[in-house]
Amino acid sequence: MGVIKTEGDSARVRCLVAVEMLEGGLAMVDCCRHEQHRSCIARVPIFSNLTGEEQQEIAAITTAKTFKKGDFVYMAGDQAGKLYVLHTGRVKIYRLNANGKEQVIRVVGPGEFMGELSLLSSMPLTDNGEALEDCTMCLIEGTKLKELMKKYPSIAFKIMEEMSQRLERAEQLIETLNLNTVEQRLARSLLQMAAGKKEVLLVMAKGDFASQLGMSQETLSRKLSAFQERGLVALKGQRGIEILDREGLEAIATGE
């Protein structure tokens, strides 16, 4: 068994271990896969305060997986028992009611995680995770992660902090859907996404955006067109929205 180094930047040299002889060549295992997993782990806030050695422990219980656009990462009813850490791509988290109507809860981006509730409860998952584009992610076994949470309480506290923030956002979403008009929901969402900037680029399809706001795609299109006619926004292609009158949107959002 030998070690082979590839050419290139010494800081990024990869070590390959030959594990057995096959017809016509060598089968090799990338012994740096844990380093790749650690780079994924390091992007996640709940692990960012750990030392490199501690992150390596997380990487050792991590497996990589890819999903194509439209693939389900998990479905409601699954007994996942894993933490899904998104490395690249975007995943839509949503629920379906008895009539099949979709309610988008959030869109997860690189560095974020999902499936955390299955770590703390034996109940099956209650939402669906669908890849909006090709994704790569790290899957961490729940039972082994729990052992490390005992060893490093900061991980548990970080997960609790993230869950409390998500609960707050969920409560705000419920309040928005129940107490605000369609125009108020749209204006408030545009202002939140803009975050002080002049242009918004939707990270999801308009149908998913409409679902998140509790309206149909047709209603969303009509309201956006109405906002444009009033000089509040300018629509740029399929997903671009330029904010023209921030004060006007704020007045609508607050019901003035």
Query: For the whole model, what pTM was predicted?
Result: 0.65
* pLDDT above 80 (res 37): no
Q: If you classify domain 181-253 with CATH, what class do you get?
A: mainly alpha
Q: What is the pLDDT of residue 195?
A: 86
234: exposed, middle or buried (Cβ count in 10 Å: 0-12, 13-18, 19+): middle
Q: Give the amino acid at 223.
A: K
Specify whether the CB–CB gap between 79 and 143 falls below 8 A. Answer: no
Q: What is the pLDDT of residue 96?
A: 87
Most confident of 79-83, 178-182, 222-226: 222-226
* pLDDT above 50 (res 30): no
Instruction: Give per-residue pLDDT as tens, 139-171.
Output: 888 888 888 888 888 778 877 887 788 788 777
Q: Which of 61-65, 92-96, 157-161, 246-250 has the lowest mean pLDDT?
A: 157-161
Edge-to-edge order in the sheet of strand 102-108: 72-74, 128-131, 91-96, 102-108
Two tokens at 154? 């900061």
From CA 240, how far away is CA 183, in angstroms rounded?
Answer: 18
Q: Which residue has the higher pLDDT, 244 or 7?
A: 244
Q: Which residue has the higher pLDDT, 155 or 182?
A: 182
Q: What is the pLDDT of residue 23?
A: 38
Q: Which of 46-50, 113-117, 232-236 has the lowest mean pLDDT?
A: 46-50
* CATH code 2.60.120.10 for 33-177: yes
Q: What is the pLDDT of residue 93?
A: 93
* pLDDT above 90 (res 44): no
* pLDDT above 80 (res 21): no
Q: Which of 44-48, 60-64, 204-208 has the lowest mean pLDDT?
A: 44-48
The per-residue pLDDT of the chain, averaged, comes to: 79
Q: Where in the chain are the domains?
A: 1-31, 33-177, 181-253
Q: Which of 94-98, 103-107, 132-136, 156-160 has the lowest mean pLDDT?
A: 156-160
Beta bridge partners of 209: none
From CA 246, how far away is CA 144, in angstroms rounded?
Answer: 48
Q: What would the 3-class secondary structure string for the chain be? A: CCEEECCCCHHHCCEEEEEEEECCEEEEEECCHHHHHHHHHHCCHHHCCCCHHHHHHHHHCEEEEEECCCCEEECCCCCCCEEEEEEECCEEEEEECCCCCEEEEEEECCCCEECCHHHHCCCCCCCEEEECCCEEEEEEEHHHHHHHHHHCHHHHHHHHHHHHHHHHHHHHHHHHHHHCCHHHHHHHHHHHHHCCCCEEECCCCHHHHHHHCCCCHHHHHHHHHHHHHCCCEEEECCCEEEECCHHHHHHHHCCC
